Amino acid sequence: MKAIQFHAAGGPEVLQYDEVPVPEIGPGEMLVRVHAAGINPPDWYLREGMKVMPAEMRPALEFPQIPGTDMSGVVQAVAPDVLGFAVGDEVFGMLRFPGFDGRTYAEYVAAPASDLAHKPAGIDHVQAAGAPMAVLTAWQYLVDLGHDVPSPFTGQVHQPVPITPDMTVLVNGAAGGVGHFAVQLAKWKGARVIAVASGRHEQFLRELGADEFIDYTRTQAADVVSGVDLVIDTVGGPDSARFLTVLKRGGTMLPVFFAQFDPEETASLGITVSNIQVRSNGPQLAEIGRLFDKGKLQVGVDSIYPLPEAGSAHTRAARGHIQGKIVLTVVS
């Protein structure tokens, strides 16, 4: 079969279109013919050698590596102990995350059945492949964590804040993968949603349900917003603290990317800061899939590349300002 591999860490140019063996399945697994694979930040963190992590936390990488966690495809074989799936089923999922053994940039993948759900009939393989990591991140932050594993970033177990119709939720980086699902899930729960992104994304986000839009290239949210119950900052980083002032006392800050906050400052403001490490979860995807089928959620697709052009897809990702997700097509 064909797959994208890299034999050393580096830029998008290290991604090669290689011939590799079709994987064998073990107990609890299914062989899936991949129709599309979604691209996520951990894919390029892995390709770069995990430089985004502190040196003492970086895993030892063995080469060659096949990147990718998100996929949508058709079941080709099922291990005897797997129940609920059959050959010919359309499935989607995020495989073996947290971890770097998803191997979805390939024509076939051996997938844990527990990480998969039946693909919603209302979306195609490209849309389904774009959903798993981003929508599970938003779901586990906002709706149901689904486990009791402490966050590796805080040592605490995240507790989602119940979103009610009297709440205001601000989403920073609202047009991106996690952001556009956070907007939709907060709106599904009845909240008033403020979306922060660059101006080119305004129509997209209003169509997804945003009640208010702030173009951060023109206006700082802290200058015009206050009394917010919940902030989901999908950008994070050292500047995330600037959103503390938009929160009301007792509010909650959810940084999706690495971000540091002064505990004394957040305590003085009465603000809770919490984050998660998203985890694979097939049953949650099945529940989310019903929202796709009901039209409550939709997947924004920024751009589509054929599998051999994975390097170009990573180059596109590096430019940023993505609207939804970037997806690789494997079966046309």
For 150-273, CATH number?
3.40.50.720
Q: Which two tokens stand for residue 201?
A: 């994304």
pLDDT above 70 as % of the chain: 100
Domain 2-133+279-329: CATH class, spelled out: alpha beta
Distance CA 179, CA 175 (A): 6
Distance CA 91, CA 75 (A): 7
Distance CA 108, CA 31 (A): 7
pLDDT digits (tens, 9 = 90+) for 67-82: 999 999 999 999 999 9
pLDDT digits (tens, 9 = 90+) for 30-41: 999 999 999 999
Mean pLDDT value of segment 191-204: 98
Q: Check if 2-133+279-329 and 150-273 are the same fold.
A: no
pLDDT above 90 as % of the chain: 88
Which pLDDT does position 143 carry in this prediction? 97
Residue 58, pLDDT above cutoff 90: no
Question: Which residue in 177, 176, 173 sits closest to 195, CA to CA?
Answer: 173
Residue in this structure with the two tokens 């599998």, named with its chain if needed: 307
Summary mean pLDDT of the chain? 95
Question: Which residue in 187, 179, 21 sits closest to 108, CA to CA?
Answer: 21
Which pLDDT does position 260 carry in this prediction? 81
Domain spans, the chain: 2-133+279-329, 150-273
Q: Which residues of 57-66 are buried (b: 16+ CB within 10 A; e: fewer)?
A: eeeeeeeebb
Question: Which residue in 165, 134, 87 sits closest to 284, CA to CA?
Answer: 134
Q: Which residues of 219-249 are buried (b: 16+ CB within 10 A; e: fewer)?
A: eebeeebeebbbbbbbbbeeebbebbebbee
Beta bridge partners of 170: 194, 231
Distance CA 9, CA 24 (A): 26
Helix %, strand %, coil % of the chain (to 5):
30, 25, 45
Which pLDDT does position 91 carry in this prediction? 99
Q: Which two tokens stand for residue 254?
A: 């959810």
Mean pLDDT value of segment 132-150: 96
Q: What is the DSSP-derived secondary structure letter of residue 165?
A: T
Residue 299, pLDDT above cutoff 90: yes
pLDDT tier at 148 (50, 70, 90 boundaries)? very high
Q: Return the number of other C-beta atoms located less than 10 Å from residue 129's C-beta.
A: 32
| Total residues belonging to the chain | 332
pLDDT tier at 155 (50, 70, 90 boundaries)? confident
Distance CA 11, CA 118 (A): 34
Q: Which residue has the higher pLDDT, 263 or 23?
A: 23
Distance CA 241, CA 255 (A): 9
Residue 258, pLDDT above cutoff 90: no
Cis previous bond, 160, omega within 30: no
Lowest mean pLDDT among 161-165, 236-240, 262-266, 274-278: 236-240
Residues 68, 74, 80, 82: is their CA dihedral positive or negative? positive
Distances 210 to 80, 151, 297 between C-alpha atoms, Å: 46, 29, 13
Which pLDDT does position 239 carry in this prediction? 83
**For residue 83, which phi and psi values (nearest 5 degrees)?**
-115, 150
Residue 273, pLDDT above cutoff 80: yes
pLDDT tier at 59 (50, 70, 90 boundaries)? confident
* 190 three-class SS: coil
Distance CA 40, CA 326 (A): 8
- Note whether 172 and 221 are within 8 A (CB): yes
Q: What is the DSSP-derived secondary structure letter of residue 87?
A: T
Which pLDDT does position 332 carry in this prediction? 67
pLDDT digits (tens, 9 = 90+) for 85-125: 999 999 999 999 999 899 999 999 999 999 999 999 999 99
